[in-house]
Structure 1
């Protein structure tokens, strides 16, 4: 009976997230349309803004649109406590839900190297854009000891699929973390999942993805068949639900500009814990890769050169692509 009640509550929670997601997207679309009418933007800036707006697709602000929802009323301290109290947690997880990866493996940061954190949902189209643009550079720099990576898996977009894709995909990634000591396999799996010929579309355009298809992406990433066979699981779902409650309440992750200012969305990137504003790229008319390298303080020609470190170090704030400061 208790199990059935929990399943019912989870279905209701997902339905509420879907309704909130749709409401937030409609509001964002209306506001974006109004802003476009009020501005005249030409040339390359138009293209850049369109690309950036496409990135901000996975919105985790359902809590704000449902003030009577118990989860929405939960304080960040209560959400944090709930996250810590989940009994079954993945390996290599810190208290914020992050997985730290460096050239030295899991859990060990390279001294004096900046840390790039990425918050993602496997169904989020904007996350796909970010990973397809940045993964080759990020992985190359990580392997050279120039940066640390901090991955945060979320699964709040289940309602935009017909088969809980976000939760299943995140469970698969966390299974790799738990059972495969080579973080390179995890990073390649993430890239495979976001490949343009694999990542499914959200909402009405969603086409079901089987557990076997996800398993095949893991094996292609170098994961053993024994580990891949464990990936079809709900083992980490309770933990993911707690992450989805806690993470959107963290004000340091709130958008600082654009139509979603003041709320958390995916993808979100931080550098040394400081929010990296993707919207700024459009106004500076730079690509995502060039913007990232500028913010880290390293030339493209130095990417992958061991011993050549980004100028901001492990504690500096990202350099603005607009002001250079």
Structure 2
């Protein structure tokens, strides 16, 4: 069968139109996905679009925890809150309470980190993220981490904060996400704080329904997710869990999380918790 020149031109035009339509559909889908991701990026309205603007907004929040630094971090060492030890690495942890990966990091590394912290082998810089509130039906992330910040601010013993975090990341406590989310009451969260050793007055204030640090947490979200030094290699955005060592993002090895962490901070496993052994980093 012979195809005429006119038919070939018609087929070519149809092909070009088909490609153009597919390209438009892909563009529309990409825009929709971007808008969806942007809406869920933060609970704040008119979220800043630049890192500097977000940092300025964070610093201008009226009610914020004095214990936190201007990047939204809460520093802990063997000497307590805000007392950085010189000549040891600072481990930064960016966590979200609904994040399954954060729970995995907590369950795997927290005992090691706690031993190193108590021995003065590291400083710990905690950053509380709440940008996955939309994955629960009752602002679980904000409630859980507003309480964490309150405990840090009201209770001088960091062990109580660290114990609370370990408890809410426990496999038999952390709820699922989206359709798998199950309602977690304030009373259930309060019990995790009490079990960690926080006193009743502090816990009651943490769950009094005022959520006094909500705006600060959301502003910290907006700033943190715009910091490119926290992005994983090859990715164009922030995700949790993120761990830094001396302000440099640590590339986790999921196959040997604990071993790769100790290598990154420069300690052998038998040196963990030994005050005379300093990280070789």
TM-score by length of 1: 0.72
- Alpha-carbon distance in structure 1 between the residues aligned to 2:169 and 2:66: 23
1:167–1:65 CA distance, 2 compared to 1 (3 A): closer
Matches within 5 A, 1:171-182: 171-182=146-157
Determine which of 237, 247, 253 is the counterpart of 2:230.
253
1:63-96 per-position Cα deviation (integer Å, ceiling 9, x unaligned):
7999xx942x621111100000001111310010
1:276-322 per-position Cα deviation (integer Å, ceiling 9, x unaligned):
012xx25xxx410001001111100000000201100xxxxxxxxxx
**Runs of 5+ in structure 1 lacking a partner?**
1-19, 27-60, 313-325
1:116 and 2:91 equivalent?
A: yes
CA contact (8 A) 2:107 2:169 kept: yes
Instruction: Give the match for residue 264 of structure 1.
Output: 238
- Alpha-carbon distance in structure 2 between the residues aligned to 1:64 and 1:114: 34
Instruction: Give the match for residue 24 of structure 2.
Output: none
CA contact (8 A) 2:40 2:132 kept: no
1:62 and 2:35 equivalent?
A: no
1:154-176 per-position Cα deviation (integer Å, ceiling 9, x unaligned):
11111100000000001110110
- Alpha-carbon distance in structure 2 between the residues aligned to 1:271 and 1:90: 24
Determine which of 213, 222, 225 is the counterpart of 2:188.
213
Instruction: Give the match for residue 307 of structure 1.
Output: 276
CA contact (8 A) 2:72 2:220 kept: yes
Instruction: Give the match for residue 11 of structure 2.
Output: none
Matches within 5 A, 1:19-38: 23=33
Deviation >2 Å, runs of 4+ = 61-66
TM-score by length of 2: 0.83
CA contact (8 A) 2:96 2:102 kept: yes
CA contact (8 A) 2:78 2:120 kept: yes
Instruction: Give the match for residue 4 of structure 1.
Output: none
Instruction: Give the match for residue 36 of structure 1.
Output: none
1:63–1:78 CA distance, 2 compared to 1 (3 A): farther
Determine which of 268, 277, 284 is the counterpart of 2:251.
277
- Alpha-carbon distance in structure 2 between the residues aligned to 1:65 and 1:245: 8
Deviation, structure 1 residue 62: 3.2
Determine which of 194, 214, 237 is the counterpart of 1:237.
214
- Alpha-carbon distance in structure 1 between the residues aligned to 2:216 and 2:264: 32
CA contact (8 A) 2:95 2:128 kept: yes
The secondary structure found in structure 2 opposite 1:87 is coil
- Higher Rg: 2
1:85 and 2:60 equivalent?
A: yes
Instruction: Provide the aligned length of Structure 1 versus Structure 2.
Output: 246
Q: What RMSD, in angstroms, separates the aligned Cα atoms of the two structures?
A: 2.1
Instruction: Give the match for residue 111 of structure 2.
Output: 136
CA contact (8 A) 1:83 1:243 kept: yes
1:63–1:275 CA distance, 2 compared to 1 (3 A): farther
CA contact (8 A) 1:145 1:307 kept: no
- Alpha-carbon distance in structure 2 between the residues aligned to 1:217 and 1:112: 34
1:65–1:118 CA distance, 2 compared to 1 (3 A): closer
- Alpha-carbon distance in structure 1 between the residues aligned to 2:114 and 2:135: 29
Deviation, structure 1 residue 262: 2.3
The secondary structure found in structure 2 opposite 1:265 is coil
Instruction: Give the match for residue 101 of structure 1.
Output: 76
**Runs of 5+ in structure 2 lacking a partner?**
1-29
